[in-house]
Chain A
Amino acid sequence: MKEHPLQIKMNTNTKLKVSNLTKTRKSSDFFWAYLMIAPTMLGLFIFYLWPIFQTFYFSFTEWGAFGQFEWTGLDNYKRMLEDTNLLKSFKNTGIYIIFTVPIGIILSILIAVLLNQKIKGKSVYRTLYFLPVITMPAAIAMVWKWLYNSDYGLLNYILSLFGIKGPQWVSDPKIALYSIIVVAIWSGIGYNMVIFLSGLQGIPKSYYEAAEIDGAGPISVFFKITLPLLSPVIFFVSITSLIGAFQVFDLIFMMIGKSSTALESTQSVVYLFYQHAFVLNDKGYAAAIAVLLLVVILIITAIQMVLQKKWVHYD
């Protein structure tokens, strides 16, 4: 999308300029502008901006049984230092991110590149790969939990045909997290694929024609042309999937039961937040977890912003 002159001006236009507009028109402009942004800004303020401060405040409190709370200073943060479950949940979330984000991106680029070739049945493939995107995570979790069932699941049955005794996919603490990662990648491919596909279609044909004349093979075309030109899209997708992966909850909540032995080794930061906030009624501590999550996400996004200068090509 082309940059409109307004966008450039945006950063410098704090001073009032009286150009061809009359004063009255100006104030009528203001009136309309404030009127038009009012509902959204008010909603954002009440439901999103003010809550940020409130959560920050709650993180210094401890909650009693039925809604009363008292100021306890830094207690919640001190408690975090000793909370092995919290540490574990960050580790789990970290592993989850390290696998889902890169593998998810690589696979969806692969599918997108293949779908960008001149082949038949493109739209059928695209539809099939997109199916998990429109399916609610609760249902996805349920069907995968069933596929993963160690005694009666389809997956272990297929493995048994090859003489392999399949593991306990969702109960074995060493494996469960990876089982969830597979589901996450499976359900996310379609979404990213569509974005990459539109990115690929934006690459001018002339680049490829030029490469063909130079006699470059498909592999070197991919690495020398496709990948660099796609890098802004890859950057965007990696930021959004990273933030999304940080907040993983639904799959874990639905697939790992409370009495499951794999809970400790799969629960994510957000799962722990949910537990403290709405199950254990430990809302002060939950608020502190939310604050910590915010800080971590901001730091990681900032790092990505710095790193992107090294590998993202804008033309």
Chain B
Amino acid sequence: MKKWLLLLLTVILGLIGLAGCSNDDTASGDGKVEITYGFWDKKQVAAIDEVIKLFNEKYPDIKVKTEITPYGQYFQKLETAATGAALPDVMWMNGAHVQQYAEGKVILPLTDLAKKDNYSLDNYPKSLTDLYTVKGEIFGIPKDFDTTGLWYNKKIFDEAGVPYPDDSWDWNKLKEVAKKLTDKDKDIWGFAATMGNQGGYYDLIWQNGGYIISDDGKSAGFDQPEAIEALNYNISFIKEGLSPTQAQMTETAVSELFSSGKVAMMFDGPWMVQEYKNNPDINVAVVPKGKQRAVSIHGLANVIAANTKHKDAAWKFVQFLGSKEAAEIFAKTGTVIPAYNDTQDAWVQAVPTINLQAFIDGVDYSVPLPNEKRTGEIWQYETDVLKKVWSEEESIEDGVKELTEKANEALSKK
């Protein structure tokens, strides 16, 4: 009995004792350091593992540990971790949050580091480096970018004897084909009108000549006639029974309905390539045009935590992630469109069965996502309000009025 007690005490004390050093144990004596890399997309794990392997051939002393958090919780976790000074050393950042994190001094400005190492930022599209520049300082090295495409299921088209989508399509054509393909008996919907902003209603609003946030950054444009018309068009698919309802889409994920042949067409980004590439029925085309052509463009960047204990190692890793070498690995696996200039062709060729060029074509007429400081907050309001509109609990007019008020209030805050 006494022995048992002694053992227990040792365990407890051991655990508590361990706590004290858990933050420093990464810097063990033999010069090896360990850094953590936080991101959200499980589909990129394979590519990232390969990049890390390559990185370690160059820097065998820097061990990289990956940390995946689902997107739905990612920024919430980061914020929590930032409060507790427990951020990963290197992590993914998006345009909606970069301002907030930069101004909160949670992430490291990289301008001086880049200057010191002669690291050129000209290798990336300017729209992306601009996105991660806050008050003249660059905070993130662009990693990849994505536009929108019209994904479709060839089998459903073939069975209905309808030609595949091409670049001549417009809104009317999309609607017309969706009607033809919808087959209640076979449980097939023509189009999935998902409630997403990027690759969803943002694209449609832009195609209709509307805007999300005004150029001066002071007001939201959800209540403008162009935006209302675009939302109307989007929701009409649900109203007319051509799309699963909002409830159905929350209960069973659309991407799964689509890949199992229950939805014929949907808008989505290139991040789905990994998921769909082994399905011979699936292909992608450019998004149909409205009054004009437009798709969202957005890119992620790698950033460094301001309080990292291994600044040098983290910077070396970020540089490597931004290198041509790493971009080629991402291109090869077809995971995402690498941001490094001229590696995009390799990406298009990575999955020959899918017409990935459609995403690259979109770049010419793409519109960047808003990156105001309060964007994250506005996105929250969009979900809260628009889900009522999508489930037809609230009229579009009432919904956009409420949303615009909330968004404007957020924009007016400092």
On A, residues with C-beta under 8 Å from B are: 65-67, 145, 149-152, 168, 170-173, 257-261, 278-281
Contact at A170–B251, with CB atoms within 8 Å? yes
Contact at B391–A258, with CB atoms within 8 Å? no
On B, residues with C-beta under 8 Å from A are: 72, 76, 79-80, 82-84, 100, 104, 106, 195, 246-248, 250-252, 380, 383, 387-388, 390-391, 393
A261-B388 Cα distance, complex, nearest whole Å? 6
Contact at B80–A171, with CB atoms within 8 Å? no
Other 6 A-B pairs with CB < 8 A, given A67-B82, A168-B251, A171-B391: A66-B79, A149-B251, A150-B247, A150-B251, A261-B387, A279-B76
Residues in B neighbouring A279, C-beta threshold 8 A: 76
Residues in B neighbouring A65, C-beta threshold 8 A: 79, 100, 104
CB of A20 to closest CB in B, whole Å: 31
Task: Name the residue on A nearest B84 (C-beta).
Answer: A67
Contact at A261–B393, with CB atoms within 8 Å? yes
Residues in B neighbouring A278, C-beta threshold 8 A: 76, 80
| Contacting residue for A150 out of B76, B248, B391, CB 8 A | B248
A133-B76 Cα distance, complex, nearest whole Å? 31
22 CB-based A-B contacts, threshold 8 Å = A65-B79, A65-B100, A66-B104, A149-B252, A151-B252, A152-B252, A168-B248, A170-B251, A171-B248, A171-B391, A172-B247, A258-B383, A259-B195, A259-B383, A259-B387, A260-B247, A261-B246, A261-B391, A278-B76, A278-B80, A280-B380, A281-B79
Residues in B neighbouring A257, C-beta threshold 8 A: 250
CB of A252 to closest CB in B, whole Å: 14
A257-B248 Cα distance, complex, nearest whole Å? 12
Residues in A neighbouring B380, C-beta threshold 8 A: 280
A173-B72 Cα distance, complex, nearest whole Å? 22
Contact at A261–B250, with CB atoms within 8 Å? yes
Contacts A66-B83, A66-B104; is A260 near B76 (CB within 8 Å)?
no
Residues in B neighbouring A172, C-beta threshold 8 A: 247
Contact at A260–B79, with CB atoms within 8 Å? no
A257-B84 Cα distance, complex, nearest whole Å? 27
CB of B118 to closest CB in A, whole Å: 32
Residues in A neighbouring B390, C-beta threshold 8 A: 261
Contact at A171–B250, with CB atoms within 8 Å? yes
A67-B104 Cα distance, complex, nearest whole Å? 10
Residues in B neighbouring A281, C-beta threshold 8 A: 79
A152-B187 Cα distance, complex, nearest whole Å? 12
A260-B106 Cα distance, complex, nearest whole Å? 32
Contact at A66–B106, with CB atoms within 8 Å? yes
Contact at B383–A261, with CB atoms within 8 Å? no
A304-B247 Cα distance, complex, nearest whole Å? 40
- What 5 A-B pairs have minimum CB-CB distances, sorted nearest first? A171-B247, A67-B83, A261-B391, A168-B247, A65-B104
CB of B258 to closest CB in A, whole Å: 14
Residues in B neighbouring A280, C-beta threshold 8 A: 380
A150-B257 Cα distance, complex, nearest whole Å? 14
CB of B216 to closest CB in A, whole Å: 24
Contact at A259–B83, with CB atoms within 8 Å? no
CB of A83 to closest CB in B, whole Å: 14
Task: Name the residue on A nearest B79 (C-beta).
Answer: A281
CB of B402 to closest CB in A, whole Å: 13
Residues in B neighbouring A145, C-beta threshold 8 A: 251
Residues in A neighbouring B76, C-beta threshold 8 A: 278-279
Residues in B neighbouring A66, C-beta threshold 8 A: 79, 82-83, 104, 106
A173-B388 Cα distance, complex, nearest whole Å? 11
A260-B388 Cα distance, complex, nearest whole Å? 9
Task: Name the residue on B nearest A256 (C-beta).
Answer: B250
CB of B11 to closest CB in A, whole Å: 15
A252-B410 Cα distance, complex, nearest whole Å? 28
A151-B251 Cα distance, complex, nearest whole Å? 9
Contact at B247–A259, with CB atoms within 8 Å? no
A260-B253 Cα distance, complex, nearest whole Å? 12
Task: Name the residue on B nearest A152 (C-beta).
Answer: B252
Most-contacted residue by chain A among B83, B106, B247, B383 (CB, 10 A): B247
| Contacting residue for A258 out of B72, B104, B247, CB 8 A | B72
CB of A177 to closest CB in B, whole Å: 15
| Contacting residue for A259 out of B84, B248, B250, B393, CB 8 A | B250
Task: Name the residue on B nearest A145 (C-beta).
Answer: B251
CB of A238 to closest CB in B, whole Å: 34
A260-B251 Cα distance, complex, nearest whole Å? 8
CB of B311 to closest CB in A, whole Å: 19
CB of A112 to closest CB in B, whole Å: 36
Residues in A neighbouring B388, C-beta threshold 8 A: 261
CB of A40 to closest CB in B, whole Å: 13
